Amino acid sequence: MATRSDAGIVLRLSDYSETSQIATLLARESGLVRLIAKGVRRSTSARVAVGLDLLEHGDLLFAPPARGTGLGTLAEWRQRDSFAGLRRALILLHAGLYAAELCRVLMEEYDPHPEVYDGLHRLLEDLSRSEPAERFGVAGRVLDFQVILAVSIGFCPNLRGCVACGRARPPGSAGYMSFTAGGLVCRSCVARFSDPKRVHGTVIDRLWRAIGTVTPAESADQPTEAGPPQEVAADPGGAESGTPRASERAGSDRPAERREPPELAAVELLAEHLSLTVGRRIEVFDLLRRHWTGGRNARAVAAAADRAEGAEPAGGVG
């Protein structure tokens, strides 16, 4: 039986028998693998030195399934890092579990994406060293990983402009996100879609910057403040719609400032996009979100901030 050696991160463990488990791992060169770890639940073998635990990193030797899919067999596991710091606070552990579940649900078996593996390893390292009180910093790290995964597997939303007519979105302007369309839609096209959600301009800009760190060529397509005038693609306020923006009512040229960091709503926006793409909700995300919003979703937090500034609510289409 041919075997492979690789580096891997444990994404999920489930009992298979009284002595064995099924381990789902993300391997750097092999992609997502599901393996039977025989005897691991009571093993004293040197081949499985410390057993298996969630979110740990190590070296594995395994035999792939004979038919290319299904369960392989774990022959050897050597733990390299347990990321023990994740267990210091639930927010850190939930962030790591959410990232692991994203990989398990969105990725295909034996379809390697080394950049996703590296991104997950970097995220777990950063989280294990993070202070739990830095909850917005945790949100930023999770967002960056979401983007790496979405770009790598081709599920990244289109933020250049309206996916229906192609009109560009100037930086800072609010917009509508259609998950069925896979990106932003403009004011003129919004009625054609059943699921548009209004998104604050700072949230879109933060998500675009995260995408630009993964695909610099994409960020070069985004118009800048000093660039040539562009037709507003997705800004439901202002003179054209007859509804003054908060910044216009205040006599300022600048849009109203958000009181919450845009990472929160950006993480939730991308989480919803990825969940709807695969047709299932990543339940652990609800646990993670409570650490940031006290049980309210980020859109409700954004709506409250916008109402405080006198702007339109960020949660609806109007």
Cβ-contact 315, 198 below 8 angstroms: yes
d(CA 36, CA 39): 9
- Shared domain for 201 and 300, answered yes or no, is yes
Residue 135 pLDDT grade (very low, low, confident, very high; cuts 50, 70, 90): confident
**Would residue 119 count as lying in a domain?**
no
**Domain-ending residue, one of 26, 57, 84:** 84
**Would residue 167 count as lying in a domain?**
no
Which two structure tokens, joined as six digits, stand for 217?
């060529």
Mean pLDDT, residues 40-59 taken together: 71
- Residue 17's SS3 state is coil
User: Which residue type, as a one-letter code, is found at position 56?
Assistant: E
Which two structure tokens, joined as six digits, stand for 287?
């646990």
- Shared domain for 200 and 78, answered yes or no, is no
Mean pLDDT, residues 68-79 taken together: 88
Which two structure tokens, joined as six digits, stand for 292?
């940031």
- Shared domain for 303 and 203, answered yes or no, is yes
Number of residues written out for the chain: 318
- Shared domain for 184 and 290, answered yes or no, is yes
- Shared domain for 181 and 77, answered yes or no, is no
Mean pLDDT, residues 209-234 taken together: 54
**Would residue 104 count as lying in a domain?**
no
Mean pLDDT, residues 179-207 taken together: 93
Which residues contact residue 273 at a Cβ distance below 8 angstroms, ignoring those fewer than 6 apart?
150, 155, 157, 177, 179
**Would residue 136 count as lying in a domain?**
no
Give 223-292 as a DSSP string: --TTS-----SS---BTTTTB--HHHHTT-SSPPPPSS-HHHHHHHHHHHHHHHHHTS--THHHHHHHHH
Question: What letter does residue 108 receive in the DSSP assignment?
Answer: P
What's the domain count of the chain? Answer: 2
d(CA 145, CA 134): 17
Mean pLDDT, residues 1-10 taken together: 93
CA angle 91-179-292, nearest 5°?
A: 20
Domain membership of residue 236 as a residue range:
175-309
pLDDT greater at residue 113 or residue 293:
113
d(CA 182, CA 272): 11
The residues with which 243 forms a beta bridge, in sequence order, are 238
**Would residue 141 count as lying in a domain?**
no
Q: Give residue 74's Cα distance to chain centre.
A: 29
Give percent of the chain with pLDDT exceeding 90.
60
Pairing of strands 183-185, 196-199: unpaired
pTM (two decimals): 0.79
pLDDT(237) > 90: no
**Would residue 139 count as lying in a domain?**
no
**Would residue 52 count as lying in a domain?**
yes
**Domain-ending residue, one of 84, 103, 126:** 84
**Would residue 95 count as lying in a domain?**
no
pLDDT(32) > 80: yes
pLDDT greater at residue 65 or residue 236:
65
Mean pLDDT, residues 117-123 taken together: 98
pLDDT greater at residue 48 or residue 117:
117
pLDDT(159) > 50: yes
pLDDT(225) > 60: no
Picking from 217, 9, 12, the residue whose alpha carbon sits closest to that of residue 122 is 9
d(CA 299, CA 275): 16
* Per-residue confidence (pLDDT) for residue 317, from 0 to 100: 32
pLDDT(298) > 70: no
Residue 312 pLDDT grade (very low, low, confident, very high; cuts 50, 70, 90): very low
- Strand order across the beta sheet in which 175-178 lies: 183-185, 175-178, 196-199
Q: Indicate the range of 42-56, 77-91, 190-204, 304-318 predicted with least confidence.
A: 304-318
Which CATH number belongs to the domain containing residue 33 in this structure?
2.40.50.140
For 72, list phi and psi in degrees, rounded to 5: -95, -165
Pairing of strands 72-81, 31-37: parallel
Mean pLDDT, residues 190-196 taken together: 93
**Domain-ending residue, one of 84, 117, 152:** 84
